[in-house]
Amino acid sequence: MGIEEKLPSGVLLSTVEGLAGYMRKASFWPATFGLACCAIEMMTFGAPRFDSARFGMEVFRPSPRQADLMIVAGRVSNKMAPVVRQIYDQMAGPKYVLAMGVCASSGGMFNNYAIVQGVDHIVPVDMYLPGCPPRPEMLIDAILKLHDQIQHEKLGVNRLNEIKQDEKVALLATPTSAMKGLMR
């Protein structure tokens, strides 16, 4: 029972956005960017046991010009921050960033002058993956969620309107410094 039984006339209708989203999510190429212990788990994700090729991520690209996903795995030092930004700027668009591990997401246990307290201070992050270090299964789950986000992404003018709407929502959000804990 294949698709030909479901479509007896042999015609399949879709939108350009739907087709482009499907193609983008199915050909995701990550840049090689491991900074600390989380990189070991990222390498395990590319190994045969977890097999990133199942998700259209055949090989980790050595050049940022060939990649569209930057997985920042591990803590980012202030010395390394300009390099992270340079690699991000060299990536072709559309480009996505996944902050892997608590150190990349928020600085982790390293609350000092040498470590950037979250890679989102350097590059815009599309997906945060918590854990110290996160397991390869968690990385697979985050990438599948990113696939879903990419597949339903708008194109052209619709995308610009979506970005403006997201920025309005972000500006109207309560700052974390003004948030209060649960009162019981």
The pLDDT tens digits of the residues spanning 94-144 come to 888 999 999 888 888 888 888 888 888 888 898 999 888 889 899 999 999
Q: Kindly state whether residue 3 falls inside one of the protein's structural domains.
A: yes
Given this model, what pLDDT does residue 166 score?
Answer: 79
Does 183 score more than 60 pLDDT?
A: no
Could you tell me what percentage of the chain is helix, strand and coil, using 3-state DSSP and rounding each to the nearest 5?
45, 10, 45
Q: Kindly state whether residue 67 falls inside one of the protein's structural domains.
A: yes
Q: Kindly state whether residue 182 falls inside one of the protein's structural domains.
A: no
Q: Kindly state whether residue 127 falls inside one of the protein's structural domains.
A: yes
Does 24 score more than 60 pLDDT?
A: yes
Given this model, what pLDDT does residue 86 score?
Answer: 92
Given this model, what pLDDT does residue 90 score?
Answer: 92
Residue-wise pLDDT tens digits, 151-169: 888 888 887 888 788 778 7
- Say which residue, 52 or 136, is predicted with more confidence: 136
How many residues are recorded in the chain? Answer: 184
Does 85 score more than 60 pLDDT?
A: yes
CATH code of the domain covering residue 107: 3.40.50.12280
Would you list which residues are annotated within the binding site for [4Fe-4S] cluster?
Answer: 37-38, 103, 132
Helix, coil or strand: residue 174: coil
Given this model, what pLDDT does residue 100 score?
Answer: 92
Domain count, the chain: 1
Q: What is the mean pLDDT of residues 82-96?
A: 89
Q: Kindly state whether residue 181 falls inside one of the protein's structural domains.
A: no
- Say which residue, 12 or 165, is predicted with more confidence: 165
Helix, coil or strand: residue 70: strand
Q: Kindly state whether residue 175 falls inside one of the protein's structural domains.
A: no
Would you list which residues are annotated within the binding site?
Answer: 37-38, 103, 132
Helix, coil or strand: residue 77: strand
Given this model, what pLDDT does residue 40 score?
Answer: 87
pTM given for the model:
0.80
Does 82 score more than 70 pLDDT?
A: yes
22 Cα distance to chain centroid: 16
Question: Distance between CA atoms of 95 and 148, rounded to whole angstroms?
Answer: 15
Q: Kindly state whether residue 10 falls inside one of the protein's structural domains.
A: yes
Q: Kindly state whether residue 179 falls inside one of the protein's structural domains.
A: no
Domain residue limits at 1: 1-170
Q: What is the mean pLDDT of residues 10-34?
A: 80
The fraction of the chain above a pLDDT of 90, given in percent, is: 13
Q: In the block, which residue shows the tokens 């482009």?
A: 20
